[in-house]
Structure 1
Amino acid sequence: MQLKRLVAITIIAISLYACKEDDSVKKEYQNELAEIVEEEKILEFGFDRNDYEFKRDTIRKGDTFGIILERNNIGYPKIFQIAEKAKDTFDIATKLQVGKPYTLLFSKENEKDSIQKPDTFIYQQTLEDYVVINFKDSIQAYRSRKPITYIEKTATGIIENNISETLEEKGLSQKLAYKMADDIYAWTIDFRRLQKGDRFKVIYTDKYIDDSIYAGVHNVKAAYFEHNGDSLYAFEFETDSIKGIRDYFNENAKNLRRAFLKAPVQFSRISSRYNLKRRIALYGNRIRPHKGTDFAAPVGTPIMATANGTVIESTRRGGNGKYVKIRHNDTYTTQYLHMSKRLVKKGQFVKQGDIIGKVGMTGNTGGPHVCYRFWKNGKQVDPFKQKLPEAKPISDSLKVKYLDFIVPIKQRLDNIFFIEAEPIEKENTISIDPIL
């Protein structure tokens, strides 16, 4: 950009010299020159970076809004006034979290002052969401989001060893493996037993923030997997717009999901099964029934709701430690014990696959795991010995709409050729403006 400006200025200067006898031409070129040399706006958080010095940091242990501003030459009467004015938008005095980034803006108009003071504080709650507290003239506080861009892509792969290696060789996100293994084909393909020569095609959307920060796979629009001689199509379709429920169906509108996931954590191992006759040496080899299934996983591993439902308990109690209990319908209830952190509240509706907590060691436990308990008609049972229902089938009225909806998507999927090497290029871009 600077080189282009230099070239433009040089050309204009030569032209001015050549036309120095013509005042009208000279004025015209002077106006053009003024437009070109005008500094280009570079916006971040909605502020022109040419007008401010950006000072970035993260919230450290012991930091408060007051301490941060005091370090930067703002007095406490002003700090109190800012916090009071801003608290209806964001309680800056109590909600700062250690490790979250923040930015202070210093106006370049005041850079000659002996004491530099910021006039804006920006706190980033997530990669996308941030809070602006501006106190340059009057005090203003508001929430905003960085621009989000969704880029639709396609990918193919042929399995040599496992899907993770296949994706890695192509430079593709491992989140695609999780999406296919847990969201789409959880009940039709065992991804730990893929065979050499199995292959797949997928149409998916990647998410970017500010056009440059990769935020992961947003969704998988459609997929095709050849496994054990079967051709398995999957198309995403919204079945409940009010609750935002989306399911995957095959080319004949059959739901690919079951009502329950096999496990509440990804790629874990069962360390202890449901066993009503279990004997424990620590208790004198006496029988102490184990009415749950333990899935061993590192502390902090996300725990998923195994089915749609409503949280009826989210608390801490005795040997259970921190736990969440979900009622799925009049027949089924599940419980997830020993969490390090609970991420849902009582009364909250959760969808299958939603993260409801993190694996921990609270309560009576000898190691990090989640104890998964399963009720059927009020009685605790072994979920692996139940004939669990399939997910809710698509309604007759939606089925017609669905079959029409997938026609162009299936045609596009069928026309994707299998590629063994390079990752697929970007295709369509959809930008979403920030919401103020």
Structure 2
Amino acid sequence: MHAWPASEVPALPGKGRDLRIHDTATGGRITLDPGPVARIYVCGITPYDATHMGHAATYNAFDLVQRVWLDTKRQVHYVQNVTDVDDPLLERAVRDGEDWTELAERETALFREDMTALRMLPPKHYVGAVEAIPGIVPLVERLLDAGAAYELDGDVYFFVGSDPHFGGVSHLDAEAMRLLSAERGGDPERPGKKNPLDPMLWMAAREGEPSWDGGRLGRGRPGWHIECVAIALDHLGMGFDVQGGGSDLAFPHHEMGASHAQALTGEYPFARAYVHAGMVGLDGEKMSKSKGNLVFVSALRREGVDPAAIRLALLAHHYRSDWEWTGQVLADAVERLARWRAAVSRPDGLSADALVDEVREALADDLDSPAALAAVDRWAARQTSGGGTDEGAPGLVSRTVDALLGVAL
């Protein structure tokens, strides 16, 4: 599966700072110190509706991670998946009388268009769950052979008790886990499981649903968590730098994925940091496909909204915060974009050397994009009042905003 084209990232003078970021597993801020190549895995979409503002906010957060790392002169090995076979996708296809593969391909293509418009840097590897199945089956077999998985009426489940570190990502108690498991695709009430929280690794073929040859597992399709584990292990290996996604993925998805990988390899940890973006709401509720309260990037683009303004609307909120999308949020972003473009359109201006340092420091401090925007606001305000004679300043500001914030002025 191919990703989307990359926009050029301008080189800035000097070198950026190492990223200090909030790690869900430790509950505090840690300084990431990758090697020459920083490794990151971000969970992708289930393509039955793409791309709403909640998606955009999440991928914007991890785009900032990439940009901070690139500014430290590192390379970035970024991997993202597409869950192109899953219950919600199949249910939507049945509801709309559409072939599920055509639905997945259309929505994935639209997602690529949205990411391109928003200047999100693409992953090096963009992998669909379906294409990963040949690599998933052997992992499930290995877990069975190791006693970390078991069969139940033809399905295969992972036993959470096989990983001594289970619970170390989300730090939730058993009852909270059980409730979230039921809410987020699990089946804690199914009789016969060793532990109600045990997630499915391989679902035996169901009538009317797609299935693949699983060798000794029988025909079926993979569970949600093992898909990402297979892709991450294949392209990044254990101990990669950041596992990322929305805060609703901390449990069960990232918790279960970590345990799958740790039980498979006997190594710990799966990822060095677990980083989660907040939820975007609309009309007082989390924006989600199940609720249908969505604002789509593609719809805004069709209405003529500049993608740079959409991106500024996202950047105005700290990535870990939960916030609400409103017309005013977009209006403020449109106005800010106009002010910045007017400021950099002058032939000269106030020195921007300090601004570059301010933006770098803000982003290195747990991706504090609101602080970075405030720094550019201050420069733009002073620029409007005049007095500067630095001919290189407007261009340096434009390159800084492009390189570090992904906004083209």
Coarse TM-score class (shorter-chain normalised): under 0.3
Please identify the structure whose Cα radius of gyration is greater: 1
Higher relative contact order (CA 8 A, sep 6+): 2
TM normalised by structure 2 equals 0.25
Structure with bigger helix share is 2
TM normalised by structure 1 equals 0.23
Structure with bigger strand share is 1
